[in-house]
Amino acid sequence: MTPDIPRMTGTDFTPSWFDTARVNRSAAERRASSLTARRSVKKDWQAAWLLRAVTCIDLTTLAGDDTPGRVQRLCAKARQPVRPDLLAALKVDPITVGAVCVYPTMVPHAVKALDGSGIPVASVATGFPAGLTPLPLRLAEITYAVEQGAAEIDIVITREHVLTGQWSALYDEVAAMRAACGDAHMKAILAVGDLKTLSNVYKASMVAMQAGADFIKTSTGKEDVNATLPVSLTMLRALRDFEQLTGQTVGFKPAGGLKTAKDALSWLILMKEELGTRHMMPDLFRIGASSLLGDIERQIEHHVTGRYSAANRHALT
């Protein structure tokens, strides 16, 4: 996401756009599974789609034992996510991932390691992953991350606001976070595994977009249930409705537990079928993942050479 991509402005708080919304879970599950089961990406296209997925990855490390060294290695991988010989065999120019995503204190290390690459640094903030520190501290954390050079901020919402139906409190909180982001793009993590119902997921998506989120994101990766296809479908429907109502096109980031090339293809199919190819580009689609790239690189290698290399050749991610 480059700085020249305009920020979303959001809208006033408008509960009439979501307060009667009901999402039928079994219908969402049926649609999600029929979409990804029915469609397959044929062999010739598969490598191209996997390369596209790579450009949409927010390459992530969010662990308590993160160190500058780990972040530097991750950034080196972000600059060259697929081996140059494989890209040459596919006659493809060099590619990078969409962003590198880290904790706030790791931002300066990532900024330094990515200098000159054009790859933005994303920082989680606002008391990630639970978001249960006082609001002024959560806002100060955003300010800190932006000052350190983060171009994208992944905030977490207060789940209590959703679970108790305090939609205007949720709007005010996300709007304050958006203001604290300044020019940095904001992704609103809904932590969908905590929200109990798909109706809540739809409503929280709508409120986050009204409050000015540039992206809505499924999960922190730390909940018991993270990104799933039915939840993603629900968020994409909210995103589509919001676009129809406002003309504003918000991005989508599934995150948490996405580990295989097949996962990446499933989510790309979902984006294409629900929203169209425009939504398969890194300015509108990111995949948050700490351990997806290795399998994608293996599948690309298999496509090029007909052989799989040992998984430990792709150990970093």
Ligand X SMILES: O=C[C@H](O)COP(=O)(O)O
Interaction site with ligand X (CB under 6 A): 60, 62, 101, 220-221, 255-258, 288-291
Q: Which one is catalytic: 154, 194, 214, 295?
A: 154
**What does the alpha-carbon distance between residue 119 and residue 114 come to, in Å, rounded to a whole number?**
6
**Catalytic status, residue 203:** no
Please tell me the distance from the alpha carbon of residue 316 to that of residue 82, in angstroms, as a whole number. Answer: 12
H/E element holding 300? helix 293-305
Judged by phi (left if over 0) then psi (alpha if -120 to 50, else beta), residue 117 lies in alpha
CB atoms under 10 Å from CB of 301, counted, come to: 20
Shortest distance in whole angstroms from residue 241 CB to ligand X: 25
Rounded distance between C-alpha atoms, residue 129 and residue 62, angstroms: 10
- Catalytic site residue 259? no
CB-CB neighbours of 124 under 10 Å: 28
What's the distance, Cα to Cα, between the start and end of the chain in Å? Answer: 22
Considering the candidates 77, 187, 203, 253, report the single residue annotated as catalytic: 253
Q: Which is nearer to ligand X, 10 or 294 (CB)?
A: 294
Instruction: Output the smallest distance, CB 256 to ligand X, in A.
Output: 4
CB of 258 to ligand X, least distance (A): 6
Long-range contacts of 106-112 (CB under 8 A, 24+ apart): 106/61, 106/66, 106/68, 106/71, 107/145, 107/148, 107/149, 107/150, 108/148, 108/149, 109/68, 109/71, 109/72, 110/71, 110/74, 110/75, 111/148, 111/149, 111/150
Least distance from ligand X to the Cβ atom of residue 255, Å: 4
154 catalytic residue (yes or no): yes
Closer CB to ligand X, 101 or 211, in the complex: 101
Nearest residue to the partner ligand X, using Cβ: 221
Active-site residue, from 58, 194, 217, 263: 217
Residue 130 C-beta: closest distance to ligand X, Å: 13
Instruction: Indicate the residue among 21 and 154 with the shorter CB distance to ligand X.
Output: 154
Would you give the distance in Å from CA 204 to the centre of its chain?
A: 16
The nearer residue to ligand X, 23 or 213, going by C-beta atoms, is 213
Structure tokens at 119: 């790859």
| CB nearer to ligand X: pick between 101 and 208 | 101
Write out the catalytic residue numbers: 154, 217, 253
